[in-house]
Amino acid sequence: MNIFPPPGSKWPSEIEERFSEASRFAEINEISWSRDLSQVIGQGHFEPPPWNEIIGHVRPRGGPAGLIVLGGKIVAEWGDTNRPDMTFSCAKSCISMTIGLALDDGLISNPDQPIAELVNDGGFDSIQNAPITWTNMLQLASEWEGELWGKPDIVDRNRDLSVEGRNTKKGEARPLNAPGSYWEYNDVRVNRLALAALQVIKRPLPEIFRTRIMDPIGASNTWEWHGYYNSWIEIDDRLMQSVSGGAHWGGGMFISARDQARIGLLMARNGQWDGQRVISERYIENATSPSKVNPVYGWLWWLNTDRARMPRAPEGPFQAVGAGGNSIWVDPERDLVVVSRWLQPEKTDEFLGLIYSALS
């Protein structure tokens, strides 16, 4: 029988000693970042000047935190798992889920249709941008060209996550490719996707995410999802803030490890929560299928195809990943969810390896 935690903080817990090594490992391998995240962002960790200007909400982070959920029960927990912290690009996976809801509702009839067929704000008028589909953007293969909220797409060109914070080529111009033919991790284009989704859904994405995802799965009321100070638009006589899919310039998702675990458990349970269909199986299948241009990436969810990213873990799980060692690891086959916050990213594979060794 599947266990679903009730709303609030009373999550069924049965701490298991076999996971103590993994939880201790996560506690002692904290990322070296300052806990003052305004320093990390403002001093150019992600972007060189002048592109490093903070234009959204930022606040200090806590220490390492996380939990392992197996069969719906918490079997390991460390740090303050109720503290809402910035989660950087884990928010990308939340954007993906809101677009999944728009597909479920028929607001987007086909993910492979050009966004320009539904969004007429000038952002998809050019020869380069007109063919871009929802799938292209969800798979980080749009090659969208332009500027949004004062940040040009060129800041994401030549980006290499393996040397994040040390990539001297990031922001250098390169020729653009046809939409759908080239994968490159990005933030400006994901923010452009969030703006397009807002104009189709016509309600703030945090509002949709709260009423359609977070409330049904019993999440707390402590999470927040911000855009930028200049990312407000008017739709149907209502001012709405377009949210971000990261926090390179501030903003983004502020959320606790426990609420992240609920999101992971929803995905692990194929979109159902305690007998209620929350998001469709069709969305989850699309979101977790390898893209043609990058087999370890789906619809704003990371995959472990051929165990290429996490060799110590199985191939089937998928993951929401954010800078700073933020992660929601989802393993539907084992009904396993692992949330880790502020873990050295290069230690993630070893950390997961300890968990799977304990399971074997």
pLDDT tens per residue across span 325-338: 999 999 999 999 99
Number of neighbours of residue 172 by Cβ within 10 angstroms: 10
String of b and e for 102-129 (b: at least 16 CB within 10 Å)? bbbeeebeebeebbbebbeeebbeeebb
Which pLDDT does position 43 carry in this prediction? 84
> pLDDT confidence of 167, banded at 50, 70, 90?
low
Query: Is the Cβ–Cβ distance between 55 and 241 less than 8 Å?
Result: no
> pLDDT confidence of 323, banded at 50, 70, 90?
very high
> pLDDT confidence of 47, banded at 50, 70, 90?
confident
Which pLDDT does position 170 carry in this prediction? 74
Could you give the percent of the chain with pLDDT greater than 70? 98
Which pLDDT does position 258 carry in this prediction? 98
Q: What is the mean pLDDT of the chain?
A: 96
Q: Give start and end residues of each alpha helix (H) in the chain.
A: 20-28, 37-42, 90-104, 134-138, 188-201, 205-209, 257-268, 281-287, 348-359
CA dihedral 224, 335, 301, 76 (to 10 degrees): 50
> pLDDT confidence of 129, banded at 50, 70, 90?
very high
On whether the pTM is more than 0.95, the answer is yes
As a whole number, mean pLDDT of residues 298-308 equals: 98
Model pLDDT for residues 231-272, shown as the tens digit of each residue: 999 999 999 999 999 998 999 999 999 999 999 999 999 999
As a whole number, mean pLDDT of residues 5-21 equals: 95
Query: Is the Cβ–Cβ distance between 269 and 333 less than 8 Å?
Result: no
